[in-house]
Structure 1
Amino acid sequence: MAEKTIMLVCAAGMSTSLLVSKMQKAAEADGIDAEIFATAASDADAKLAEKNPDILMLGPQVRYMLSDFQKRVDIPVEVINMQDYGMMNGEKVLREAEASMAK
């Protein structure tokens, strides 16, 4: 089992799949034991219950869901920076997740 579990949520779960891949590569390169996965907003509740993530990161296109998730879960919930998302900067998004989990 991974030390940390990072869940990314986007509208359909497809656009974050490349970002997940880049985040996994960055984690492996830095020796970070993390399970990173993406899901569609419509499947988020089921995945929260199934995977019990340490942090929930929302794609910019679903940032309107931030306050709803913050009220319902007892883990950090962050919106992925739009520029990092657009550039698929997996390393930077991973750093943001780590910083939020460390708070």
Structure 2
Amino acid sequence: MKILLICVGGMSSSVLMERMRQYAAEHDEPLTIEAVGEMGHAYEKVAGEYDVILMAPQAGYRKKDVMKRVSIPVDVIDMAAYGRADCAKVFEQARRLLDK
């Protein structure tokens, strides 16, 4: 699975990204994951390389705008899962998004 994380500045999502990489390695989950900031629409340049975009809760207010700019599924990460860096729940959310 290829996940692009979007955060306001890219900092808190970087923590989740690293934990997701560890979780994927421990559970033999194929994963490509990167974190980018929403400002400047940097995600637009790379979105085509990913299966889904997951947004940090604090960036969620921009979901509709992001959805207009990309052609892949977009969702906001569950706040509790994001805050706890609950990788299993984040993977589950990404899978559900892909299955839609």
TM-score (norm 2): 0.87
Q: What is the deviation of 1:18? A: 1.1
Q: 5+ residue gaps in structure 1? A: none
1:25 paired residue among 22, 26, 49: 22
Trace 1:80-95 onto structure 2 (pairs within 5 A).
80-95=77-92
1:7 aligns with 2:11: no
RMSD: 1.4
CA distance in 2, matches of 1:91, 1:18: 15
1:56 paired residue among 53, 72, 82: 53
Moved more, 77-86 or 89-98: 89-98
2:46 paired residue number? 47
Q: 5+ residue gaps in structure 2? A: none
Q: How many pairs were matched up?
A: 98
Amino acid aligned to 2:88: E
Q: What is the deviation of 1:96? A: 0.9
Q: Deviations over 1:16-44 (max 9, x none)?
A: 11111111122222212110110111222
Q: What is the deviation of 1:87? A: 1.1
Q: In percent, how many aligned pairs have the same letter?
A: 33
Tell me if structure 2 keeps the 8 A contact 1:16–1:38. Answer: yes
Q: What is the deviation of 1:91? A: 2.1
Tell me if structure 1 keeps the 8 A contact 2:56–2:76. Answer: yes
TM-score (norm 1): 0.85
